[in-house]
């Protein structure tokens, strides 16, 4: 009961803390740590906890207000995050002015209540704190510009990733919608030829074509699917191609049960399988195999076809959008968590994919 209450309280406090603007969170953390150090330093100087608390609680809000005013001045006078000479001069002047204000407040209060530092002259009582607070405000200013630069860089990165995702999504939609007209024509022509004598075979081909088209179009709104769903779409595509090429094409799809429910970016494997069918060697029988398994916590996929890489180059009038799209989608959905190779193994071409963890869903 108590543990649940503590957990709920911690979560509620964390949520409230996250709702506070980032600038004020940084202010609270930074000046909180500085105030702690300042309190210890005054305790050593005055040998009195009460005096140290009084002076620290007086100057801490002053520092927060002064630094907030400095931040507003920096935002107006230095909109960029570069520490140009003009900006460095501004930092020096504002830090010195803020330090002088804090020191003047402390000096006035101490002399009104009769607090002096033993064996310190007036010059020391003013000069040493002035240096101390000047360095503090200079450090705060440098941290302000550093944090602002980090925030700007992260925001720019997010915008770049979002723009890339939108561009890639548009490209993927184009890839889905601009189906190979020869494939579609041949599939429909094959259905028409089978209808008179083999209506059941024609119906099966039509169902496979429907399943393939449904998967390719549905993926626009469902970018991540189970590996088994992706395999079913590939199987439908390959059955259509088998109906077209007959005994000259032999296919095999194997999905390990442990990998069937793993999430994968939709339509990720389709360009690789299309390349295997289009560019594979069909002198005798073109063999295309797809294997999906789970090993050491990673989804491992191999797509093989008989032939050689020398024969996989696309025609000059067509861009290699398939492989390029695969690489870009891997970078988007599996950033730094994927490995893709396309190589020859004996008399076969092997496309290997290793995907660590689930895909990022945007």
Tens-place pLDDT, residues 177-200: 555 555 677 677 777 877 887 788
- For the chain, give me the number of helices (H) and strands (E)? 11, 7
pLDDT over threshold 60, residue 315: no
Our CA angle for 289, 291, 295, nearest 5°, is: 160
The per-residue pLDDT for range 131-175, each reduced to its tens digit, is 888 998 998 888 888 888 888 888 888 888 888 777 766 766 665
pLDDT over threshold 50, residue 348: yes
Give the span between the Cα atoms of 108 and 55, in whole angstroms.
11
Confidence of residue 279 (pLDDT cuts 50, 70, 90): confident
pLDDT of residue 319: 42
Q: How far is CA 125 from CA 45, 92, 106, 108, in A?
A: 11, 21, 10, 11
Share of the chain above pLDDT 90, in %: 17
Q: How far is CA 299 from CA 165, 179, 215, 293, 337, in A?
A: 23, 28, 21, 6, 11
- pLDDT-wise least confident of 13-27, 51-65, 239-253: 13-27
Mean pLDDT of 100-111: 85
Give the span between the Cα atoms of 231 and 264, in whole angstroms.
11
pLDDT of residue 247: 86
Give the span between the Cα atoms of 167 and 171, in whole angstroms.
6
pLDDT of residue 206: 85
pLDDT over threshold 90, residue 17: no
pLDDT of residue 218: 67
pLDDT over threshold 70, residue 313: no
Q: Is 272 left (phi over 0), alpha (psi -120 to 50) or beta?
A: alpha
pLDDT of residue 257: 94
Give ranges for CATH 3.30.565.10 in the chain. Answer: 179-356
Q: Beta-strand (E) ranges in 209-330?
A: 224-226, 249-255, 263-265, 286-295, 298-306
The per-residue pLDDT for range 241-268, each reduced to its tens digit, is 888 788 888 999 999 999 999 999 888 8
Our CA angle for 287, 293, 297, nearest 5°, is: 150
pLDDT over threshold 60, residue 98: yes
What is the CATH number that goes with domain 179-356?
A: 3.30.565.10
Q: Which two tokens stand for residue 275?
A: 């390349």
The per-residue pLDDT for range 208-239, each reduced to its tens digit, is 888 877 776 666 677 889 999 999 889 988 88
pLDDT over threshold 50, residue 318: no
pLDDT of residue 316: 43
pLDDT over threshold 50, residue 328: yes
- Cβ-contact 264, 224 below 8 angstroms: yes
Whose CA is closest to 86, among 73, 99, 100? 73
Mean pLDDT of 205-209: 83
CA atoms lying within 13 Å on the CB side of residue 34: 20
More confident position, 315 or 286? 286
Share of the chain above pLDDT 70, in %: 87
């Amino acid at each position: 009961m108590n543990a649940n209450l503590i957990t709920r309280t911690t979560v509620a406090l964390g949520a409230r803390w996250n709702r506070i603007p980032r600038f004020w969170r940084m202010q609270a953390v930074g000046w909180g740590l500085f105030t702690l150090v300042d309190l210890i330093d005054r305790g050593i100087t005055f040998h009195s906890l009460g005096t140290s608390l009084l002076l620290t609680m007086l100057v801490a809000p002053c520092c927060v207000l002064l630094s907030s005013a400095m931040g507003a001045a920096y935002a107006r006078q230095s909109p960029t995050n570069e520490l140009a000479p003009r900006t460095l001069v501004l930092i020096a002047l504002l830090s010195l002015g803020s330090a002088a204000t804090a020191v003047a407040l402390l000096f006035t209060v101490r002399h009104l209540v009769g607090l002096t530092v033993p064996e310190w002259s007036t010059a020391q009582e003013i000069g040493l704190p002035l240096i101390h607070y000047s360095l503090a405000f200079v450090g705060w200013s440098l941290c302000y510009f550093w944090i602002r630069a980090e925030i700007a860089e992260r925001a720019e990165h997010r915008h770049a990733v979002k723009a890339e995702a939108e561009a890639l999504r548009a490209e993927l939609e184009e890839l889905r919608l601009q189906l190979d007209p020869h494939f579609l024509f041949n599939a429909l022509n094959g259905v028409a030829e089978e209808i008179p004598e083999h209506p059941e075979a024609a119906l099966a081909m039509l169902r496979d074509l429907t399943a393939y088209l449904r998967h390719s179009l549905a993926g626009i709104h469902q970018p991540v699917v189970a590996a088994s769903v992706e395999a079913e779409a590939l199987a439908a595509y390959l059955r259509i191609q088998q109906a077209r090429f007959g005994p000259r094409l032999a296919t095999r799809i194997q999905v390990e049960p442990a990998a069937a429910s793993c999430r994968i970016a939709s339509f990720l494997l389709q360009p690789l399988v299309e390349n295997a069918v289009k560019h594979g060697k069909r002198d005798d029988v073109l063999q295309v195999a797809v294997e999906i398994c789970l090993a050491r916590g990673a989804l491992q996929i191999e797509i093989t076809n008989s032939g050689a890489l020398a024969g996989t180059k696309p025609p000059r009038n067509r861009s290699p959008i398939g492989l390029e799209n695969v690489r870009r989608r891997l970078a988007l959905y599996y950033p730094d968590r994927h490995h893709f190779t396309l190589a020859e193994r004996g008399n076969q071409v092997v496309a290997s994919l290793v995907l660590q963890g689930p895909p990022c869903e945007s």
